[in-house]
Amino acid sequence: MFSLKVTLFAIGLVITVIGWGFDNASHLSVVREWVAKDAFAAQALLREIAEGRSDSVHDRAEPGVSYLLEIWPELQERNLFVAIGRGGAYLQLPDSKIGGEPSADFDLLPMVDGTRYAKDYTWAARRAHEAVNADLEKRVFRWSAVLFFLGLGISGTVGVYELITGRGERLARSSAV
């Protein structure tokens, strides 16, 4: 019985540590691949496009493109679009009443084929990045919380069980004496 309790306690601790790992998914590639491979791929693709390290047209088969087309706001008939292209870059000026710093941005455009953009459905890259990050945070938090509390629950249950049964065994031994 002792080895089962110790084993369950250890399993609970391991699951708790894995839950912590999920909370730090952006730093652990194994967790990234398992939790939200498509969202992390979309995040990397947006970074590449912003830094100019990639082509201006990205096919649906490339990692992250299908994911971006799925979360694209106001895009109907998503299956008609085969690629994403980079639109023009611009300088986003801050509201004069609020203040702030100007920021550079560019538009993403869905493509019907390799050459024709659907200009009615532009999406600012900054907004796309925010949408991907929000989805990532939600997914990662959900997995990390479930695993963390599952591990904590297993370890806690074993600990409480040990306290109850261990105390009962000690009381039985002391009354027998």
Domain count, the chain: 1
Look at residues 138, 142, 81 and name the one whose alpha carbon lies nearest to residue 108.
81
- pLDDT class of 29 with cuts at 50, 70, 90: low
Dig out the tokens for 176 from the structure: 């027998």
Assessment of whether the complete model's pTM goes beyond 0.85:
no
Domain range enclosing 65: 2-176
Tell me if 71 sits within 8 A of 135, measured CB to CB: yes
**pLDDT score of 97:** 65
pLDDT value at 42 more than 60 = yes
Put the strands of the sheet holding 123-124 in their side by side order: 57-59, 83-92, 103-111, 123-124
